[in-house]
Amino acid sequence: MKKSIQFLEEQLKLTVNREKSAVGSPLKRKFLGFCILPTKKGIKIRPHAKAKQRVKSKLKQLTKRNRGRSIQLILKEIKQLMTGWINYYGIGEMKEFMRELNGWLKRRIRQYIWKQWKNPRTKRKNLIRLGIDKAKAYEWSNTRKGIWSVSKSHILHRSLTDKELAHQGYEDISLKYQFVHSTY
């Protein structure tokens, strides 16, 4: 390692970042955000755990409950982030991760919408607008459950369906990944 660094710095006049530089098995190293995965059929690549963690953190920042932005703007920002991320990491194997991330992200979006509706009257009005009968809308709008709990419950899954989220502007990221991955 020392001779390699010496050659790079003295002969090629390059600066070497000693924190990122290392010699080791490619199966145990991260390279350009990917890690190598040996399988029975050969070798595959997938995004490194840090890359997955970073995209989830960015999505968490975009869907924070106190941002005070319209849902259309939030969905547009999510679309921009995920389009770039999927186009870069789409070559990797991550079908299960994308399915889980898609479910988690839809729950975050439902939570954001429920938080925006704020008081029970607005919740009731919007639930009725989404096709829930008045008695159920009254019951559900006055629930004692917290925002995160309601986002997983039948209340929002029946009213804010996947079809309604798509109508609002949400693009299913697991389908987008499958499309991009199939082109490689």
* pLDDT per position as a tens digit, 65-82: 898 899 999 999 999 999
The answer to whether the CB of 141 falls within 8 A of the CB of 101 is: no
The answer to the question of residue 54 being in a domain is yes
The mean of the pLDDT values for the chain is 91
Of 35-44, 46-55, 126-135, 156-165, the range with the lowest mean pLDDT is 35-44
* pLDDT per position as a tens digit, 14-39: 888 888 777 777 777 788 889 988 88
**Number of domain units in the chain:** 1
* pLDDT per position as a tens digit, 118-134: 999 999 999 999 999 99
The answer to the question of residue 31 being in a domain is no
The answer to the question of residue 42 being in a domain is no
Please give the Cα distance from 74 to 109 (Å, whole number): 9
The answer to the question of residue 29 being in a domain is no
Please give the Cα distance from 175 to 86 (Å, whole number): 11
Q: Write down the pLDDT at residue 120.
A: 95
Domain that holds residue 72: 48-182
Q: Write down the pLDDT at residue 140.
A: 93
